[in-house]
Amino acid sequence: MTNKIIEEDLKYIFNNLNNKQKKFFENSNILITGCGGFLGFYFLNFFLKFRDDFNIRSIIAFDNFIVGKPYWFDSIVNSNENFLSIINFDIANDNIESIAGAESADIIIHMASIASPTFYRKYPIETLDANVWGVRKLLDFYIDKPIKGLLFFSSSEVYGDPVPEYIPTDEEYRGNVAIIGPRACYDEAKRFGETLCYLYSLKYNAPVRIARPFNNYGPGMKLGDRRVPADFAKSILEEKDIYIYSDGTPTRTFCYIADAITGYLKVISHDNFDYFNIGIDKPEISIRELSEIYLKNAEIIFGKKLNAIFTKPPDDNYMIHNPNRRCPNIDKARSMIDYSPIIHVEEGVYKFLEFLKYEKEDGLI
């Protein structure tokens, strides 16, 4: 990987792990499910770049590529074919026992799930299966094996649309989640997946950890992802105006990918079963304000003056059960796993668009 933004980010992640956390990854065989997403893009690049530092023995990565293969996929596979095995695999339905080397994995990162509302509404059963049966199969397969840790990717969606007095939202908020509706296949599957992890930790002392991501964005996102940060970036790359499918008032905090990956590595290397919000707690900004940051950087990086256009969403379910506010309380992660995200959304958006500029200049996108 030669893009300088990625190189900077990978060094940032490595340097923000303490010695105990780095030691956790030494002499490991790593299994990653859902490797085709942008989190997978960073995990793969991180472990490949620092495999000698950690003396990583092997990496096996699964994905069924239900929403397509990313453009960067072939270059990673072809340049690491003797060390990295990427397998077209459906975690909910295929047989893990059939995969050579899977039984030797001692660090498991389970991300296999569609995370974009547009696509999990298209594949609701598949989304639910990956988060329920997928994690159950992994837990059953590794229950009698000496693994160091299994990281389950949950979501801030488990909180639903929090009532105002619980924003910022801490890990003990029980949630205000719709069990029936267009987002339920994702929200409720993540909640049930967490319960499975909790029960296996109780009954079998399984070394499971849970991360609840809050609005990650950055390099590696599919530009057809249909989540806001990717939509805005795609429009700018194509020199088109940004479209906002709401009045622009819902608010979020946006966590740049390098801070997020740092957090996830800290979560899985934690000593005991636990669950952590991973995101950034400020600033909480509106979608309209986020669009202004993108538009400002479009002019700086690409020399293009574009506009934000407010319009109706492309489908009737787009805004149903969409939270009005989302902002994490990350005090628990700060105190227990030394997690301190610092990349402001202004800087993160600039880095994201710079990354895309380099990729475009190199003819990769």
The residue ranges of every structural domain in the chain are: 4-217+256-279+326-342
Q: Percent of the chain scored above 70 by pLDDT? A: 98
Q: Is 361 buried (19+), middle (13-18) or exposed (0-12) by CB count in 10 A? A: exposed
Contact 182, 121 (CB under 8 A): yes
> Which pLDDT band, with edges at 50, 70 and 90, does 117 fall under?
confident
> Which pLDDT band, with edges at 50, 70 and 90, does 78 fall under?
confident
d(CA 55, CA 291): 42
Q: How much is the average pLDDT of 101-113?
A: 95
Q: What does DSSP assign to residue 299?
A: I
Contact 257, 218 (CB under 8 A): yes
What is residue 316's predicted lDDT score, i.e. its pLDDT?
Answer: 66
> Which pLDDT band, with edges at 50, 70 and 90, does 321 fall under?
low
Contact 232, 294 (CB under 8 A): yes
What is residue 306's predicted lDDT score, i.e. its pLDDT?
Answer: 94
Q: How much is the average pLDDT of 36-62?
A: 95
> Which pLDDT band, with edges at 50, 70 and 90, does 119 fall under?
confident
Provide the Cα torsion 184, 188, 193, 194; round to 10°.
Answer: 140
Structure-block tokens of residue 339:
């997690």
Is 60 exceeded by the pLDDT of residue 1? Answer: no
Contact 108, 31 (CB under 8 A): yes
Is 80 exceeded by the pLDDT of residue 354? Answer: yes
When comparing pLDDT for 365 and 110, which is higher?
Answer: 110
Pairing mode, strands 274-278 and 58-63: unpaired
**DSSP three-state, residue 209:** strand
> Which pLDDT band, with edges at 50, 70 and 90, does 75 fall under?
confident
Strand (E) positions, the chain? 29-33, 58-63, 84-88, 107-110, 149-153, 208-213, 216-217, 242-244, 251-252, 255-256, 274-278, 285-286, 308-310, 325-326
Contact 103, 24 (CB under 8 A): no
Structure-block tokens of residue 88:
């077209």
Is 80 exceeded by the pLDDT of residue 22? Answer: yes
What is residue 132's predicted lDDT score, i.e. its pLDDT?
Answer: 95
What is residue 62's predicted lDDT score, i.e. its pLDDT?
Answer: 93
d(CA 245, CA 50): 41
> Which pLDDT band, with edges at 50, 70 and 90, does 200 fall under?
very high
Q: What does DSSP assign to residue 218?
A: -
**Quick check: bond before 229 cis, omega within 30?**
no
Q: Is 12 buried (19+), middle (13-18) or exposed (0-12) by CB count in 10 A? A: middle
Q: How much is the average pLDDT of 2-29?
A: 96
Structure-block tokens of residue 21:
């956390």
From the candidate CATH numbers 3.40.50.720, 3.40.50.150, 3.30.1330.10, 3.30.360.10, the one assigned to the domain spanning 4-217+256-279+326-342: 3.40.50.720
What is residue 319's predicted lDDT score, i.e. its pLDDT?
Answer: 59
Give me the phi and psi of 66, to 5 degrees please: -65, -25
What is residue 314's predicted lDDT score, i.e. its pLDDT?
Answer: 74
Q: What's the predicted TM-score (pTM) here?
A: 0.95
What is residue 320's predicted lDDT score, i.e. its pLDDT?
Answer: 66
d(CA 13, CA 241): 33
Contact 156, 326 (CB under 8 A): yes
> Which pLDDT band, with edges at 50, 70 and 90, does 364 fall under?
confident
Q: Percent of the chain scored above 90 by pLDDT? A: 80
Is 90 exceeded by the pLDDT of residue 317? Answer: no
Give pLDDT tens digits for 278-310. Answer: 999 999 999 999 999 999 999 999 999 999 998
What is residue 109's predicted lDDT score, i.e. its pLDDT?
Answer: 98
d(CA 57, CA 269): 18
Give pLDDT tens digits for 121-138. Answer: 889 999 999 999 999 999
d(CA 303, CA 148): 49
Give pLDDT tens digits for 216-225. Answer: 999 999 888 8
d(CA 362, CA 289): 31
Is 60 exceeded by the pLDDT of residue 276? Answer: yes
What is residue 204's predicted lDDT score, i.e. its pLDDT?
Answer: 96
Is 60 exceeded by the pLDDT of residue 156? Answer: yes
> Which pLDDT band, with edges at 50, 70 and 90, does 160 fall under?
very high
Amino acid sitting at position 159: Y
d(CA 126, CA 62): 15
Give pairs for 175-183: CB < 8 Å, separation 24+: 178/321, 181/320, 181/321, 182/117, 182/121, 182/317, 182/320, 182/321, 183/117, 183/120, 183/121, 183/157, 183/320, 183/321, 183/322
Q: How far is CA 222 from CA 87, 94, 226, 289, 359, in A?
A: 20, 25, 9, 22, 13
What is residue 168's predicted lDDT score, i.e. its pLDDT?
Answer: 97
Give pLDDT tens digits for 234-266. Answer: 999 999 999 998 888 999 999 999 999 999 999
Q: How much is the average pLDDT of 33-53?
A: 95
